[in-house]
């Protein structure tokens, strides 16, 4: 993200009107990211579909934009399915994933006519069958396989390693295919995998893709026809030091070329991708004010009004996000530790060299468009921040700030 006036927005008046902490998402940048990915992939293989991973940022406004751009939604819950529906996506534009789908979710997904329910166990396939029987339809199913790749990323973000909870291993995959062949309730559509998130190593993508092709061959040999789609998941990494995805995107696309040019790649198959972070990660900032500046045993602290409940990536994965000060001040930059208001020592965003800070100064935490507001909570009794979106210079509230009433509403005092 460029720092020239921050996307041309008047952040001071935004904050005057809406307060802090506040997320701002730049939809023009989401569009640019979408186009960058599409044009890169189009040069390699023209028959593809992008299903945006809604978990990265579930704003209906973003889903509407993705739909306008020709994309669909990858969802993993009833909430995400409903958000997609409200964004105007139809069944064929939604892909249902996740290792623990409930019967209710499966039935809703099939009833909605999703492109595919990607199953992760034989038991889940049986649950899909029952739902299809109840609805008297054939269920379009995909098979999420475990690619057996230990991606070089944070250990919580590596999902495709052998023995992980995700996907079918080779043996259960075969069993699932045979089961799908045996009954008439299924339309076996495709094979899917996801190596993990924040992937930067070409070999991680490549190993995953090659293993996926082995599963594709088994699909063909058991069912007698090639899959209609091959889904390579998401995972393109965002460099949080620069706010840029191009390094990972280049490596991803090199691995992708090898995949679609492999003799085992079935002609005419649709390539499916499920990017999350690559589309929205660098398009969001979190505005926060300095509440207090203090020194503690020689360390200078700025306590800000955004905490780990608003943005938990640093507390959870130890990732440092860039911070800029938006209040112009003269003077030599100083090192500050930035801490939030939450009563945990993990509620610290890191150490930053910034121009001298004073109470009330405005800061922005960068690259928080993915897994920011979607992972926020009410911890410490804190209402979640609003998200404002900007598009072609106009700003609107896409999600209002939560109120104290919102967070206490569900309680019954006996």
Q: Is 343 a catalytic residue?
A: yes
Interaction of residue 251 with ligand LLP, rule CB under 6 A:
no
Interaction of residue 124 with ligand LLP, rule CB under 6 A:
no
Task: Give the CA distances from residue 113 to residues 12, 70, 86, 261, 403, in Å, rounded to whole numbers and listed in that order.
Answer: 45, 18, 15, 32, 36
Nearest CB to ligand LLP, comparing residues 347 and 361 = 347
Token pair for 248: 């990972």
CB of 295 to ligand LLP, least distance (A): 32
d(CA 179, CA 395): 51
Nearest CB to ligand LLP, comparing residues 159 and 249 = 159
Nearest CB to ligand LLP, comparing residues 221 and 246 = 246
- The contact pattern for ligand LLP, residues 358-377, with x = CB under 6 A and - = no contact, is ------------xx------
Nearest CB to ligand LLP, comparing residues 313 and 382 = 313
The single residue of 343, 392, 412, 413 carrying the catalytic annotation is 343
CB of 276 to ligand LLP, least distance (A): 3
Contact 362, 285 (CB under 8 A): no
CB of 57 to ligand LLP, least distance (A): 10
62-68 own/partner pairs: CB under 8 Å, 24+ apart: 62/25, 62/27, 62/30, 62/280, 62/389, 62/398, 63/87, 63/89, 64/88, 65/27, 65/30, 65/31, 65/391, 66/30, 66/34, 66/279, 67/93
Site for ligand LLP in 303-332 (CB under 6 A): 313
CB of 411 to ligand LLP, least distance (A): 28
- The contact pattern for ligand LLP, residues 156-195, with x = CB under 6 A and - = no contact, is -x-x----------------------------------x-
Site for ligand LLP in 62-81 (CB under 6 A): 74
DSSP H stretches of helix in 263-343: 277-280, 313-317
Query: Which of 22, 197, 211, 387 lies at the binding interface for ligand LLP (CB under 6 A)?
Result: 197
Contact 96, 85 (CB under 8 A): no
Interaction of residue 57 with ligand LLP, rule CB under 6 A:
no
Strand pairing report for 323-325 and 362-365:
antiparallel
Which residue, among 169, 159, 162, 143, has the nearest Cα to 195 in the 3D structure? 159
d(CA 210, CA 47): 19
CB of 147 to ligand LLP, least distance (A): 12
Interaction of residue 204 with ligand LLP, rule CB under 6 A:
no
d(CA 106, CA 97): 10
Which residue, among 79, 77, 71, has the nearest Cα to 276 in the 3D structure? 71
Segment contacting ligand LLP by CB under 6 A, of 34-42, 181-189, 230-238, 395-403? 230-238
Interaction of residue 276 with ligand LLP, rule CB under 6 A:
yes
Please name the residues in contact with 8: beta carbons below 8 A apart, sequence gap of 6 or more: 393
Radius of gyration of the chain (CA): 23
- Active-site residue numbers? 343
Residue numbers of the site for ligand LLP (CB under 6 A)?
Answer: 53, 56, 74, 97, 157, 159, 194, 197-198, 233-236, 274-278, 313, 370-371
């Amino acid at each position: 993200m460029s720092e020239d006036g921050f996307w041309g927005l008047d952040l001071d008046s935004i904050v005057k009107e809406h307060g802090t902490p506040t997320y701002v998402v730049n939809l023009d940048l989401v569009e640019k990211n979408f186009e960058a990915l599409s044009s890169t992939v189009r040069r390699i293989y023209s028959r593809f579909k992008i299903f945006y991973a809604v978990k990265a940022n579930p704003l209906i406004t973003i889903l509407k934009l993705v739909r306008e751009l020709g994309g669909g939604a990858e969802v993993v819950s009833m909430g995400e399915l409903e958000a997609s529906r409200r964004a105007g996506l139809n069944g064929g534009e939604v892909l249902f994933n996740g290792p623990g789908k409930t019967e209710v979710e499966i039935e809703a997904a099939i009833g909605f006519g999703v492109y595919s329910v990607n199953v992760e166990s034989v038991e889940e396939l049986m649950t899909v069958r029952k739902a299809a029987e109840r609805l008297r339809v054939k269920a379009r199913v995909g098979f999420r396989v475990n690619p057996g790749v230990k991606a070089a990323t944070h250990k919580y973000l590596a999902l495709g390693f052998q023995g992980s909870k995700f996907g079918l291993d080779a043996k259960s995959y075969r069993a699932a295919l045979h089961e799908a062949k045996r009954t008439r309730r299924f339309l076996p559509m495709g094979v899917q995998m996801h190596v993990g998130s924040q992937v930067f190593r070409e070999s991680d993508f490549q190993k995953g893709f090659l293993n996926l092709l082995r599963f594709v061959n088994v699909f063909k040999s058991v069912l007698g026809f090639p899959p209609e789609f091959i889904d390579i998941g998401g995972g393109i990494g965002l460099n949080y030091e620069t706010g840029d995805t191009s390094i990972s995107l280049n490596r991803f696309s090199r691995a992708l070329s090898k995949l679609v040019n492999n003799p085992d790649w079935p002609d005419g198959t649709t390539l499916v991708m499920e990017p999350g972070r690559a589309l929205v990660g660098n398009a969001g900032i979190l505005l926060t004010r300095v509440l207090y500046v203090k020194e503690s045993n020689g360390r200078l602290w700025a306590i800000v009004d955004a905490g780990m409940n608003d943005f938990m990536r640093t507390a959870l994965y130890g990732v440092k996000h860039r911070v800029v000060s938006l209040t112009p001040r003269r003077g030599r930059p100083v090192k500050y530790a930035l801490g939030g208001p939450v009563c945990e020592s993990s509620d610290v965003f890191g150490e930053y060299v910034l121009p001298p800070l004073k109470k009330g100064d405005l800061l922005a935490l960068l690259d928080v468009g993915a897994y920011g507001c979607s992972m926020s909570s009410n911890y410490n009794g804190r209402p979640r921040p609003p998200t404002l979106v900007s598009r072609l210079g106009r700003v609107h509230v896409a999600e209002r700030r939560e109120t104290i009433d919102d967070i206490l509403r569900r309680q019954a005092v006996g």
